[in-house]
Amino acid sequence: MSVVVASSGRVQPTRPGDPARIGPYRIIGRLGAGGMGTVHAGLDPAGARVAVKVIHAPQAQDPEFRARFRREVQLSARVQGPCLIPLLAADTEAEAPWLATEYAPGLTLNDHLTAHGPLTGGMLYAFAAGTAQALAAVHSAGVVHRDVKPQNVILTPGGPRVLDFGIAHAVDGTSVTRTGVMTGTPGWISPEHYRTGSAGPESDMFGWGALVAYAATGRLPFGSGAPDVVAFRVLSGDPDLDGVGRELRDILERALRKDPATRITAASAADESLALLATQSTQVLGAGTSPEPTLVGELVSAEWQMPTIDDPTWHAPRSAVRRRAVTAVLVAGSLIGGLVGGALALRPGDSEGGGGAETSAPNRAGLSEGGDQDGGGSGGGGAATPAPPSDPREARIPKDPLAGVSNPAYTRATDDAQPSSAEWRASSSSSDDEEKEAAQSVLADMKTVLATKNMDFMEPTVTFNKRAQTMMVTGGPIPQIPEENLEVFRRAAEMAMCSASAHRLKDHPSTWPYGRYSVHWKWGETDPEPITLGFGQAISGCFNEVAGQWQGDDLGIATARIPSADQNEIRVADDADKAITAAWDAAVAEGNGNEPFATDNAINLGFDPVEKAAYVWASDSSGVLVGRAQRSNFQGVTSSTLCPKLLAEYKANKSWNYTRWSVAVYPAGEVEPEIISSGICTP
């Protein structure tokens, strides 16, 4: 689906009728529009920027178009690699089908050349190497792009990015296309595509050659004019390569040959362009060396000089964003952090909990999530390992497990890149006692959480990739799984792995190499590899925090709203719900500006087993909690009533782990909650 995006890279205002939310993404504006659909600017729950393409209604009602769009999503999911824009999420069956990709800030090649002129030197070689490597990744996945052109390349601060698989198809011929319709853009269509309508990887390389020539000269290699005139030049004329350096010109001439069988491949073009790029850098490839994708990225980054584009419109008004790196998903699900099992929950009062100025139950003094008061990082030498707590619920997850450690086994703390498909394929089951113990811990924690929400039919597997220093959880295949179930699975897996790794990084920093973790899902038995649901690191805390204090969020309340299968949770929720409702009614009777809700069941309570938090939310259809004073009163009534209930169960039931709480309001006409306060109940 080709779209027109504002060349400034700025977010345009939303228009009447634009959605407030698409899947898990909050829509804040528009990036552009085209004949097939609209591209919205969105934010995921972690605050990451995404581009969400939504198909126009007329196309969505066309079964043939839907089939092509569905195929686009399937093909895009297969392609991963440097200088590509990964697909994050999609819903091909929605009334208005959509897909989401990472947002690529920057100008298209067309707009950059218009504003700044041709690329030269290292920038030009980086462009050639990066785009060739992107196509090599596309082709290795068995896909043909079929629309390589300047409008489909974004020059981001991190390097060139190839996008738009709207007319991509599989090499095996399983694509869905309109019979008799020529796909592609005049001037960027290969000779064989003009002659026969066929377009294989060789056609992409013809487009690549024209693309790089255009980047080097600022001139269209086959000129402009009527489509049939341009087609004649492509079929019988020579490209305009005047001004292109000899070494690069040789590569482009082999890409632009009329006979597709004699053209250079994407992998070879990437190799040779990378060798040219290496001459601009301190790194030089050995003869015959085939570059790894990471090397492509490193060399491109070393020579790429593109200013960062910032747009204040993107900045999320809410600051509750985790420090942990989180990746996105190929499902209509959202992203971010997870669960800790019963034996690894924090004790009441730990510093990941707090509640801000309005919290009625302050933290217990002297305690912290990381346990630094116990002697700092255990790898620093000489510090004794503290004795385990008598109550396993008091086992704290280290917040900064490598503090004070000089030479940890985990060395990828600064690497925010999500694990690749190859790294997932190279992972294996536990190979030593420590890995086996960690895997068992993760599976036990996940089973506890999933069973709480009637989701223990999911059967995850845990694998390890020591070279990538990553622990991985993979689930599926389960057909037609609800979005909210998949989200709970992701959160549970992320928290279970984060907590397991954080403890081991703290206790065995010189031998435990796994600081990264990722979550994956397979849709079917025949899928060659899964999609990635989430990714993070266990070195900066496992809980959602704001200013060092635990904070409830939209993901937590979404999980809390799923009915519980745990009888203790059901009993406590019912008791606390009634008590809070009665307490608010009493506060209303006393006056002080408090008013009754419009309905008897406006107040509800549920539990998030991932972060072990009780959520109370009020459906405020009549505007009872519009003012700050009224919200503060409601929060005070709720926390002072709820905490005694939670703590009584905590003392009586050794399996009860809920001491955190969060209060939210659903204003009239809104589908998103507003978190007004969070905290931890202290005995």
Residue 96 maps to which CATH number? Answer: 3.30.200.20
Whether 93 and 119 share a structural domain = no
- Token pair 């009614």 is at which residue? 585
Out of 168-182, 454-468, 509-523, 586-600, least confident range: 168-182
Average pLDDT, the chain: 79
Q: Is the pLDDT of residue 379 over 80?
A: no
Instruction: Estimate to the nearest angstrom the gap between the alpha carbon of 571 and the chain centroid.
Output: 36
What digits encode the pLDDT tens for the residues 607-653? Answer: 999 999 999 999 988 888 888 888 999 999 999 999 999 999 999 99
Which among 222, 208, 221 has a CA at the least distance from the CA of 273? 208
If phi > 0 it is left, if psi is from -120 to 50 it is alpha, else beta; for residue 541 that is left
Whether 172 and 215 share a structural domain = yes
Instruction: Estimate to the nearest angstrom the gap between the alpha carbon of 105 and the chain centroid.
Output: 16
Whether 73 and 124 share a structural domain = no
Q: Among 257, 288, 310, which residue terminates a domain? A: 310
147 catalytic per annotation? yes
* Domain assignment of residue 377, given as a range: 342-381+388-548
Out of 266-275, 347-356, 613-622, 632-641, least confident range: 347-356
Distance CA 422, CA 378 (A): 34
Nearest-10 crossing angle of helices 121-140, 266-278: 150
Q: Among 53, 84, 103, which residue terminates a domain? A: 103
Residue 642 domain-assigned?
yes
Residue 315 domain-assigned?
no
Identify which has the larger pLDDT, 302 or 153.
153
Distance CA 18, CA 11 (A): 14
What digits encode the pLDDT tens for the residues 470-524? Answer: 999 999 887 667 778 888 999 999 999 999 999 999 999 999 999 999 999 887 7
What's the confidence (pLDDT) of residue 627? Answer: 84
Residue 297 domain-assigned?
yes
Identify which has the larger pLDDT, 213 or 280.
213
Distance CA 431, CA 438 (A): 11
Q: Is the pLDDT of residue 546 over 90?
A: no
Whether 209 and 302 share a structural domain = yes
User: Dihedral of the CA atoms 101, 104, 110, 115 (nearest 10)?
Assistant: 160
Residue 323 domain-assigned?
no
Q: Which of 7-16, 143-152, 327-336, 656-665 has the highest mean pLDDT?
A: 656-665
Whether 2 and 114 share a structural domain = no
The whole-number average pLDDT for the span 565-584 is 93
Per the document, the length of the chain is: 683
What digits encode the pLDDT tens for the residues 532-544? Answer: 888 899 998 898 8
Residue 24 domain-assigned?
yes
Which among 383, 560, 554 has a CA at the least distance from the CA of 23? 554
Q: Cα–Cα–Cα angle for 326, 330, 333, nearest 5°?
A: 70
Whether 542 and 664 share a structural domain = no
Whether 559 and 486 share a structural domain = no
What digits encode the pLDDT tens for the residues 88-142? Answer: 889 989 988 999 988 888 888 988 888 889 999 989 999 999 999 999 999 988 8
Whether 375 and 259 share a structural domain = no
Q: For 352, how many CA atoms within 13 A lie in the half-sphere containing its CB?
A: 24
Residue 187 domain-assigned?
yes
Residue 523 domain-assigned?
yes
**Sign of the torsion formed by the C-alpha atoms of 429, 433, 435 and 438:** positive
Whether 353 and 465 share a structural domain = yes
What digits encode the pLDDT tens for the residues 380-419? Answer: 333 444 555 667 777 789 989 999 899 999 999 888 777 8
Kindly list the distances between the CA atom of residue 483 and the CA atoms of 143, 161, 281, in Å, as whole numbers in the listed order. 28, 29, 46
The whole-number average pLDDT for the span 53-82 is 81
What's the confidence (pLDDT) of residue 287? Answer: 41
**Which residues does residue 677 pair with via DSSP β-bridges, in sequence order?**
663
Pairing type for strands 660-667 and 613-620 reads: parallel
Which among 255, 268, 266, 263 has a CA at the least distance from the CA of 136? 266
Q: What percent of the chain has pLDDT over 90?
A: 41
Residue 335 domain-assigned?
no
Whether 149 and 13 share a structural domain = no
Distance CA 390, CA 630 (A): 42
Buried-exposed string 467-485: b where 16+ CB fall within 10 A, e elsewhere: ebbbbbbbbbebeebebbb
What's the confidence (pLDDT) of residue 290? Answer: 47
Q: Cα–Cα–Cα angle for 443, 565, 611, nearest 5°?
A: 55
Q: Is the pLDDT of residue 41 over 80?
A: yes
Residue 167: CATH number of its domain = 1.10.510.10
Q: Which of 111, 147, 204, 400 is catalytic?
A: 147
Residue 562 DSSP one-character state: S
Whether 497 and 636 share a structural domain = no
Q: For 387, how many CA atoms within 13 A lie in the half-sphere containing its CB?
A: 3
pLDDT band with cut points at 50, 70 and 90 for residue 298: low
Whether 501 and 586 share a structural domain = no
Which segments within 336-487 are labelled E, that is strand? 461-465, 470-475
CB 88 within 8 A of CB 102: yes
Structural domains counted in the chain: 4
Which tokens sit at 390? 């008598």
Q: Among 525, 548, 571, which residue terminates a domain? A: 548
Instruction: Estimate to the nearest angstrom the gap between the alpha carbon of 234 and the chain centroid.
Output: 41
Distance CA 205, CA 213 (A): 12
CB 285 within 8 A of CB 129: no
Q: For 331, how many CA atoms within 13 A lie in the half-sphere containing its CB?
A: 25
What's the confidence (pLDDT) of residue 186? Answer: 67
